[in-house]
Structure 1
Amino acid sequence: MTLAAALLLGACSAEEEAQAPAPRPVRTITVALNQGGETASLTGDVQAQDQVALAFRVSGRMIERSANVGDTVKAGEVVARLDPQNARNALRSAQAALAAAESQLVKATNAFDRQDQLLKSGFTTRAQHDSAMAGMQSAQSGVDNAEAQLKIATDNLAYTQLEADGPGTVTARGAEPGEVVQAGQMILQLARQGGRDAVFDVPAALLRATPAEPIITVSLASDPSVTAIGRVREVSPQADPVTRTFRVRVGLDNPPEAMRLGSTVTGHVKVAGDARVEIPASALTAFNGMPAVWVVDTANETVSLRNIEVLAFNPASVAVASGLDAGEVVVTAGVQALHPGQKVRLLGSGA
């Protein structure tokens, strides 16, 4: 009986060994620490670094506007004119007033000279002498005033011509010939030649996450192959009351000709982020009602479940806040068919 039992047990053991399941093949990845950060993209447009609204310094009826939107103008070029008739009349009136004042000054000066000679000879009184002096000084003040009025009238006549203060391109117009315009009213908007800005409306959260003095890659929305490098030149100190975003102007370094004024562009900037572990979303399962992953013991080639804390989740990947360390091996495919302690055969990395 003893020998038979031994033979029977040996046969059963050999049969069990023959029926032992083969290690299950699984696909895995080795956990790596992602340094964090991502690329943020915003849409904006190209504007001139320096834009100026050209306006008359006096009011009047505009009789001519020689420049239109899209035209290129030179420094000192006359782009619009007001009716100069009233200014010319004012100039003639000021010239006449000056001539009259100068005549009064000659008369008062002669009177004072006579009184001065008479006083030295003792043939007049000090009161008469002082009165003549006051009259001469008053006449001199009248001449000074008339000269100032003539200068104002001369300038006002010159102001009936609107000149470009520098070379540039007209981007907008604010009045048409025949209209009565007021002093300071925008007639033409001029984008001065020189630098160009890419202008974006940026959320406050992105401003906080952006590093100091970031380098921004700007590309044309219609042709992403046309790119330029830019740096932040100006950030609005106050948020827009409606959108609650901040206007940011990015100065472009040597922008290509294709980036014309008004072109729609996309800005790309690397924003700061904390270092974190990321795994494919397919590796995620659940254990004890919490997120978990299958971790491979590479020495024994067995798997075990481990709970993790998820920081962020999207359809492609999962950011892990805690529970995994860099260098550990995690199963990414076939997680539903595993059980703790199961032997596995690694197929390599991949999701």
Structure 2
Amino acid sequence: MVKHWIVAAGVLAAILTGCQEPAPPAPDIRPVRTVTVQRSTGGEPVSLTGQIRAQDEVSLAFRLDGRLIERNVNVGDAIKPGQVIGRLDAQIQQNALRQAQASLSAAQGQLTQARNTFSRQQELLNKGFTTRAQFDQAQQALQSAQAQVDSTQAQLRNAQEQVSYTELQADAAGTVTATGAEPGEVVRAGQMIAQVARQGGRDAVFDVPAQLIRTAPSDPVVDIALTDDPTVKTTGRVREVSPQADPATRTFQVKVGLTNPPPAMRLGATVVGRIQLTAPPGVEIPASSLTEANKRPAVWVVDPQSQTVSLRNVDILRQDPASVVVSQGLETGEVVVTAGVQALRPGQKVRLLGGAS
């Protein structure tokens, strides 16, 4: 009898237990990483390494082919305007000059004879002792002789210029930075004999990435200092930006004109240039924050009170593999999810793992 009461009690307890409602499941809380939106008040400083070069650098060359018999300068020499840099063997040009001089002398003799003949015929014609035909013939001979003299004079000037081209002179003061031929070599017209950095302004030349050119101020003041002695410094402004990227490095050459460069900044010296970038016009967040909603860019924004997320569309100003600049849609101080965006849903609770402020 006792056994029956025990069994009945157990059955009744089981029935009562089965009638109770199950406990609600624990909310799904996703761990995420976040960043706090901040609007930068100033841009980041950027440093690049470059070299000192002359603003005006020229390659001196002969205008004609020939054998170089003399080169009077070497690398590092200071030169003056009019100084002779080198000479070619001028034997051929001298022969052409002597030939032109001889031709001119012969033409001038013929002109003198034709002028005398014309004077006699003119006098005889006035007295009626010669015919009009003979006078016209003498006049034509005089004109031909004068034209021959003009032609030979032009040939003489050309020959003299050809002789002058065998001597290479400096057109301005400067310093020789390279040489291109040695005495005894046969050189071509236009071949560099000496490369000269003219006196005057100096540039600091840098290879600049395209992204930095896009974000740099329009007319920045660049601080320039020697790499081996930072106390030697000056400032400069961008003077020239190459319109085409280097095919190997994909960087753009930028020339910064130096303001009163100190003497220690010699040609070829290595320098460091520093500028301060301007603050971006929007707010910058990591590129991993970006997702899509309604076929537009969007981000997950965390509500600090309820610790839930909501999806918000944003306008993108600029994007690269590491970061995104948002022009509209985010305010300073808001918390944006940067990792775990693909596993979220609107209103979901999250647990912050850490972020940047």
Give TM-score, length-normalised by structure 1.
Answer: 0.70
Separation in 2 of the partners of 1:209 and 1:128?
87
Tell me the matched-pair count.
288
Residue 274 of structure 1 is matched in structure 2 by 281
- 1:116 maps to 2:122: yes
The one-letter amino acid paired with 2:115 is T
Separation of aligned partners in 1, 2:303 and 2:48: 39
Alpha-carbon distance between aligned partners in 2 of 1:319 and 1:148, rounded to the nearest angstrom = 70
Listed one character per residue, the Cα deviations across residues 133-175 of structure 1 (whole Å, up to 9, x for unaligned) are 1111111111112222222222222222211111111011111
Task: Tell me, yes or no, if structure 1 residue 66 matches structure 2 residue 72.
Answer: yes
Q: Would you say 1:144 and 2:153 are equivalent positions? A: no
What are the equivalent positions in structure 2 for 1:51-200 lying under 5 Å apart?
A: 51-200=57-206
State the shift of 1:72 in Å.
0.9
Q: Which residue of 2 aligns with 1:257?
A: 263
1:241 to 244, 247, 264: 247
Post-superposition Cα deviations, 1:161-198, rounded to whole Å, max 9, x if no partner, equal: 21111111101111110011122221000000111001
Q: Which residue of 1 aligns with 2:50?
A: 44
Paired amino acid for 2:94:
R
Q: Distance in 1 between matches of 2:113 and 2:53?
A: 63
Tell me how far apart the structure 1 counterparts of residues 92 and 329 of structure 2 sit (CA, whole Å).
85
5+ unaligned residues in a row in structure 1: which ranges?
1-29, 279-289, 296-302, 313-317, 330-339, 341-349
- CA distance 1:59–1:51, shift in 2 (3 Å): same
CA distance in 2, matches of 1:232, 1:207: 11
Give the match for residue 223 of structure 2. Answer: 217
* CA distance in structure 2 between the aligned counterparts of 1:206 and 1:56, rounded to whole angstroms: 42
For the Cα contact (< 8 Å) 1:35–1:274, is it kept in 2?
Answer: no
Question: What is the rounded CA distance, in whole Å, between the counterparts of 2:157 and 2:97 in structure 1?
Answer: 9
Partners of 1:319 and 1:124 in 2: how far apart? Answer: 102
Cα deviations by residue, 1:184-225 (Å, 9 ceiling, x for unpaired): 221000000111001122233222212211111222233333
* Alignment root-mean-square deviation, CA: 3.7
Task: Decide whether aligned partners of structure 1 residues 31 and 94 sit closer, same or farther in structure 2, where only a CA change above 3 A counts.
Answer: closer
Please tell me whether the aligned partners of residues 36 and 275 of structure 1 are also in contact (alpha carbons under 8 angstroms). Answer: no
Q: C-alpha distance in 1, partners of 2:246/2:300?
A: 41
| 1:50 and 1:192 in contact (8 A); partners too | yes
* Gap regions ≥5 residues in structure 2: 1-35, 286-298, 336-348, 350-355
State the SS of the aligned residue for 1:34.
coil
Q: Is the 8 A contact 1:277 1:324 kept in 2?
A: no
| Inter-partner Cα distance in structure 2 for 1:168 and 1:235 | 25
1: CA distance, partners of 2:243 / 2:94: 47
CA distance, structure 2, for counterparts of residue 276 and residue 125 of structure 1: 104
Question: Once structures 1 and 2 are overlaid, which stretch shifts more, 116-125 or 167-176?
Answer: 116-125
Say whether the 8 Å CA contact 2:225–2:231 is kept in structure 1.
yes
Matched to 1:112, the amino acid is F
Residue aligned with 2:253, SS: strand
TM-score calculated relative to the size of structure 2: 0.69
Aligned partners of 1:277 and 1:159: how far apart in 2? 63
Describe the SS at the equivalent of 2:175. Answer: strand
Contact kept in structure 1, 2:282 and 2:325, CA below 8 Å: no
Cα distance, 1:239 vs structure 2: 2.8
